[in-house]
Structure 1
Amino acid sequence: MTGISSSGMTRRALLGAFAATTVAATPTLSNAAGFLRGAGDIRRVRMYSGRTGERIDMIYWIEGQYIKDAVKEINYFMRDWRTDDVKNIDLRTIDIMAASHNLLDVNEPYMLLSGYRSPKTNAMLRSRSGGVAKNSLHLNGQAADLRLASRSVNQMAKAAIACSGGGVGRYSGSNFVHMDCGAVRSWGG
């Protein structure tokens, strides 16, 4: 696939972002070590939640295959912490987050501010802020709001934009970047 899909993501752009850096990591799944001997491409996501105190450092993709149990753990980690509702996070969003993190060349995990949002949570947030979309991609498990202490909003946004995988929103006043797997676009400052 060389063109832009209906979601705006190009496979080549995302693979290029992963190829731009290498990841050296110890897998969190005990059976992953065997796959890593002589392994090529691996994908890893590192996050923590200030709301729940949870942390995740997960290799979720090895040589073209998503690791089902790892993705399940990521889905749970990115749940709506207010309601404890879990939704499958779109794998393209996870890939964009991981590729952006690789491009930033940091060991610091992302702070996850918001992953999946239940309709109840999204409505509550909309009532408090004009910056929350009624049909937010968070409702579909297709977006994440992330922060890094060691990188600026602009640095994070540039890395996400370089992936050409979806939407990137800069929220400098609140010090976070929105990444989603929707149409390729960017906003904010």
Structure 2
Amino acid sequence: MLGLFNRHGGACPCCEPEMAGRRQILKAGIGVLAGTALLSESAVAASLPPVRRLNAQRFSTEDSFDGVYFSDGKYDREALRKLDWVFRDLSAAEVTPMDPRLFDVLSSVAARLETNETFSIMSGYRTPEHNANNARRSRAVSTVSLHMSGMAADFRLQGRDGYGVARTAAQMQMGGVGYYRQGFVHLDCGPPRRW
């Protein structure tokens, strides 16, 4: 392990299978995590800027969003619909409402890094069928991935080292953060954790 992350990859507790012993630990700690998540969620909401923007483009398509998605104390529904399209499951051509807290996490990380560079989205929402197909092909895919709930994204941030982005996000304690040896980062709006 180097610092907060293993530079050679690692298992995502939400997107990769749980190890047998971890299942019991996770079940025992779920109550504690739920309480912590509620406390940290209100603290995160209080620390977010009054105007939030995001610059995201789907890695393998021309679909993109670059603009404000939250202002005047509320989310812009049209902006969220556009973001949902960018983060859709490409394999199933299915769009779902993403959890807007995911966009808050991405926007906050960009603000902390003082960048307006594009998040190149490799994976956002995944249908349960798509996820199940992946799980049948690889033991490295979890059957309970936060991608299926519209709460996670895998990406590269243009002009930035993935390891540095992941370290910054982990320090912010806004959700799950993973770094993979292929150079991409996983962020989600679940409980703060890292791998």
Do both share a fold (TM > 0.5)?
Answer: yes
Q: Is the 8 A contact 1:142 1:182 kept in 2?
A: yes
Deviations, residues 48-76 of structure 1 (Å, cap 9, x unaligned): 11212212102100132111111111112
**Mapping of residues 103-182 of structure 1, within 5 Å:** 103-171=112-180, 173-182=181-190
- Report deviation, 1:88: 0.9
Q: Distance in 1 between the 2:160 and 2:120 partners?
A: 12
- Report deviation, 1:162: 3.1
Deviations, residues 100-158 of structure 1 (Å, cap 9, x unaligned): 11111223201000000011221233344443221100001010101023111221112
Consecutive unaligned residues in structure 2, runs of 5 or more:
1-34
Q: Which residue of 2 aligns with 1:11?
A: 42
How high is the sequence identity, in percent, across the aligned residues? 33
Other structure's SS at 2:170 match? helix
Q: Distance in 2 between the 1:53 and 1:125 partners?
A: 25
For the pair 1:47 / 2:56, whether they are aligned, the reply is yes
Normalised by the length of structure 1, the TM-score is: 0.77
Q: Which has the higher contact order (CA 8 A, sep 6+)?
A: 2
Moved over 4 A (4+): none
Consecutive unaligned residues in structure 1, runs of 5 or more:
20-40
Aligned residue pairs total 161
- Report deviation, 1:14: 5.2
Q: Distance in 2 between the 1:106 and 1:175 partners?
A: 18
Deviations, residues 146-178 of structure 1 (Å, cap 9, x unaligned): 10231112211122223322111111x221111
Other structure's SS at 2:37 match? coil
Q: Is the 8 A contact 2:121 2:156 kept in 1?
A: yes
**Mapping of residues 16-31 of structure 1, within 5 Å:** 16=47, 18=48
Normalised by the length of structure 2, the TM-score is: 0.75
Other structure's SS at 1:89 match? coil
Q: Which residue of 1 aligns with 2:86?
A: 77
